[in-house]
Every structure is written in C-alpha cells, then in structure tokens.
Structure 1
Amino acid sequence: MRLSNLADYAVVTMSAAARHCGGGRTSATELAEETGLPLPTVQKLVSILGKAGLLRSVRGAGGGLQLARPAAAITVADIVEAVEGPIALTQCVEGQDCAVDHACSLKPHWPFINQALRGALAGIPLTQLVVQREAA
C-alpha cells in the first residue's frame, strides 16, 4: 500500500500546523514555507482538512488557521481518511466489482485486515509526529 502524494502532504501539513498549537495560529502561506510544499497544494489541503473537521479558519484580527481539535485527538488515520476516504487495501471491500469475486475465499477477511491497518494508523496521534520531529 502506498499513500498518494496528497495524503502524504496532508500529514506533513497537519504536523506543521500542530507545531503552532497552544493558541498560535498560522496561515497557508506559513505552512507552505515551513513544509516546502507549493502554496496551491497547501491551500487545497487546508480546504480538504477543514471540510473533514481537522483544521479551522478563524477570521478577523489575529485570525488564521488552527487545529480544529487538540493534536492528541487527531490521528494519522483521520488525516489519511480525510484525503483518501476509508482505509481499504482492496476495492472489493468498498463494494466495487471484482473479476474473481465469486470464487474469492479472502473477501470475508479483508474487513479485519483493513481494520488492523486503520487501527495501526489510528494509534499514531499527531502529537507523536511533532515530538519526533522536534527531537530529531
């Protein structure tokens, strides 16, 4: 399994946003500068992550972007799903057609496998990514 570039960039962007926690606000421009990502990409991600309830925009003087909930309550799974949709290794679990669906003995097991993968990503809070980077 490989994440799309956009999902990867979303994790990078959210990690940068998390470094502004504690009342600090940031902007898409600042996030682009900090991460080295193109500003249009960060702006697109801000929109996606905002719709998913992970980032929020505060208007007015002193406004800007901030996490919509504490960094400890946001996981890598939340971020990946905001960009990619539900975490699933195979398309058949999502109800899409499969050429061998009629003879597949693994189909009943994929939900458990997908849940294990999601559980692993859900076990990594955004705070862990920020702490590891600061320690490096």
Structure 2
Amino acid sequence: MRLSSMADYAVVMMIAAARHCGGARVNAVQLAEETGLPAPTVQKLVSRLSAAGLLKSVRGAGGGFKLARPAAAITLADIVEAVEGPIALATCVEAGGGQGKGPGRGDCALEPACSLRPHWPLVNETLRGALAGVALTQLAAPPQPMAPAAGVSA
C-alpha cells in the first residue's frame, strides 16, 4: 500500500503549516517555497484541506492559511482522508459503495461470494486507527532515533 503523491504532499504541507509558531498565518506562496511543491499543487491541496476543516483561510491584507485546530488534534488519518477519502484497502467496502453500484464497486468477479469481504471493515478500521494515532505534532517534531528492536544487539 502506498499513499498517492497528493496525500504525501498534503502531509508535507500540513507539517510546514504546523511549524509556524503560535498559529501564524502562511500563504500559498510561502508554503510552496518552504515545501518545494509547485504553487498550483499547493493551491489545490489548500482547497481540499480547508474543505476538510484542517486549514482555515483568512482573507485580506496579512491573510493566508493557518491550522483550523491545534496540531495535536490533527492526525495523519485526517490528512490522508482529506485528500484520498475514506481509508479503505479494498474498493468493495469503501464508504458509499462507489459509483452507485451497491455496496461494492462491482468490479470484482469474486464479490458475490467473497469470504474476505466481511473482514475488510476490521482491517480498514485497524489501519485508520494506526494513522489516527500519529498526531501532526509528532510529524512536525525533529525525528527521534529509533531504539533497537528487543533482542537485537548493536
């Protein structure tokens, strides 16, 4: 499983926004410069993240964007879902069922008799829970060295 480039870029942008101390506003040009992302990509992501309630837009002189809530209250799951939609590894159990074809998208030949399908919600919720356990504050902090795994000597 991999995040799309847009979801990855959204995380990078949100980290940059979180690093502006005290909820200071930052504009799209600054975000583009700080992250190295193209300005049109930043504009598109700002729009999606604002619509999801993660960024707040302030218009006028000195306007820009700031986090809509404290960085500790924004999770990796929130950011990914703002760009990708609900977290689901299999399309047959995505929220809303996809393209009006019933519970699944109808593009899996095994769907009518699938024994795995009833278990996907648990898998999806476990994955979402793991991503929800990572706060934006953790991502914006300098990386900590990883401790060696138990039983592994240096």
Measured against the shorter chain, the TM-score band is over 0.9
More helix by share: 1
RMSD: 1.4
1:1-136 aligned within 5 A: 1-94=1-94, 95-97=104-106, 98-132=108-142
Q: How many matched pairs?
A: 135
Report if aligned partners of 1:18, 1:130 keep a CA contact under 8 Å in 2: yes
Instruction: Tell me how far apart the structure 1 counterparts of residues 58 and 21 of structure 2 sit (CA, whole Å).
Output: 14
TM-score (norm 2): 0.83
Instruction: Tell me how far apart the structure 1 counterparts of residues 22 and 61 of structure 2 sit (CA, whole Å).
Output: 18
Aligned-pair CA distance for 1:62:
2.7
2:97 corresponding residue in structure 1: none
* Rg larger in structure: 2
- Which residues of structure 2 form unaligned runs of 5+? 95-103, 146-154
TM-score (norm 1): 0.94
Large movers: runs of 4+ above 4 Å: none
Amino acid corresponding to residue 88 of structure 1 in structure 2: A
Higher relative contact order (CA 8 A, sep 6+): 1
Aligned-pair CA distance for 1:74:
0.4
Aligned-pair CA distance for 1:34:
0.6
Instruction: Tell me how far apart the structure 1 counterparts of residues 87 and 65 of structure 2 sit (CA, whole Å).
Output: 26
- Which residues of structure 1 form unaligned runs of 5+? none
SS in 1 for 2:23: coil
Instruction: Tell me how far apart the structure 2 counterparts of residues 62 and 28 of structure 1 sit (CA, whole Å).
Output: 12
